[in-house]
Amino acid sequence: MRRFCLDRRYFPTAPGIWILAFLAAGSAFPLSQAKELPFRTLAKKKGILFGSAIRARAIEEDPEYSKFAAKQFSILTPENDFKFDALHPEESRFDFTRADQVVAFAKKHRQLVRGHTLVWHNPEALPDWVKNPDRTPAELKKLLQNHIKSVLLHFSKTANGVVVSWDVINEAFDEEGNFRQDSIWARIEPDGFKFFSWVYRLSHRIAPKLKLYYNDYGIEAPGKKTEAVFRMMRRLKQAGVPIHGIGFQTHGSSGWNTDLSEFPGILKRFDKLGLRITISEMDYSIPTPATSTKDLEQQARIYAEALKACLSVNSCQAFITWGFTDRTLWEGNFKEGFGASTYLDSEMKPKPAFRALRRVLTKK
Q: Is 7 in the site for ligand G3I (CB under 6 A)?
A: no
- Cβ–Cβ under 8 Å, residues 265 and 233: no
Q: Which amino acid is at 87?
A: L
Closest CA to 26 of 82, 64, 73: 64
**Choice between 151 and 361, CB closer to ligand G3I:** 151
Residue 139 falls in the annotated catalytic set: no
CA distance from start to end of the chain: 23
Q: Is 156 in the site for ligand G3I (CB under 6 A)?
A: no
Task: Give the whole-angstrom CA distance, residue 345 versus residue 295.
Answer: 14
Which of 79, 189, 220, 281 is flagged as catalytic? 281
| Site track 194-223 with ligand G3I (rule: CB under 6 A), x = hit | -----------------------x------
Q: Is 124 in the site for ligand G3I (CB under 6 A)?
A: yes
User: Is residue 330 at the binding interface for ligand G3I, with CB under 6 A as the rule?
Assistant: yes
Q: Does 18 interact with ligand G3I (rule: CB under 6 A)? A: no
Residue 340 CB partners (closer than 8 Å, separation 6+): 285, 286, 288, 289, 290, 299, 326, 329, 351
Q: How far is the CB of 190 from ligand G3I (least distance, A)?
A: 23
Minimum CB distance to ligand G3I smaller for 33 or for 283: 283
List helix spans (H) across 55-191. Answer: 56-61, 63-72, 84-87, 97-108, 128-131, 137-158
331 binds ligand G3I (CB under 6 A): no
* Range list of H helices, 159-223: 192-206
User: What single-letter amino acid sits at 9?
Assistant: R
By the rule CB under 6 A, 189 interacts with ligand G3I: no
Q: Is 346 in the site for ligand G3I (CB under 6 A)?
A: no
Closest C-alpha among 26, 15, 174, 150 to residue 96: 150
What number of residues does the chain have?
Answer: 364
Q: Which of 44, 333, 345, 346 touches ligand G3I (CB under 6 A)? A: 333
Of 116 and 358, nearer to ligand G3I (C-beta) is 116
Which residue of 20, 125, 126, 273 would you call a contact of ligand G3I, by CB under 6 A?
Answer: 125
| Residue 80 makes contact with ligand G3I by CB under 6 A | yes
Residue 171 annotated among the catalytic residues of the structure: yes
Of 82 and 230, nearer to ligand G3I (C-beta) is 82
CA atoms within a 13 Å half-sphere pointing along the CA-CB vector of 217 = 12
Task: Determine the residue type at 61.
Answer: E
Spell out, one character per residue from 274 to 293, where the chain touches ligand G3I: x when CB under 6 A holds, - when not: -------x------------
**Which residue lies nearer to ligand G3I by CB, 167 or 305?**
167
127 or 222: whose CB is closer to ligand G3I? 127
Strand partners, 170: 120, 215
For ligand G3I (CB under 6 A), the number of binding residues is 13
3-class state of residue 363 by DSSP: coil
| Residue placing its CB nearer to ligand G3I in the complex, 172 or 360 | 172
Pick out residues in 228-257 that bind ligand G3I (CB under 6 A): 249
Name the strand (E) or helix (H) holding 232.
helix 224-238
Query: Measuring CA to CA, which residue among 310, 295, 307 is closest to residue 253?
Result: 295
Q: Does 326 sit near ligand G3I (CB under 6 A)?
A: no
Catalytic residue set:
171, 281
Residues that bind ligand G3I (CB under 6 A): 79-80, 83, 122, 124-125, 170, 217, 249, 281, 330, 332-333
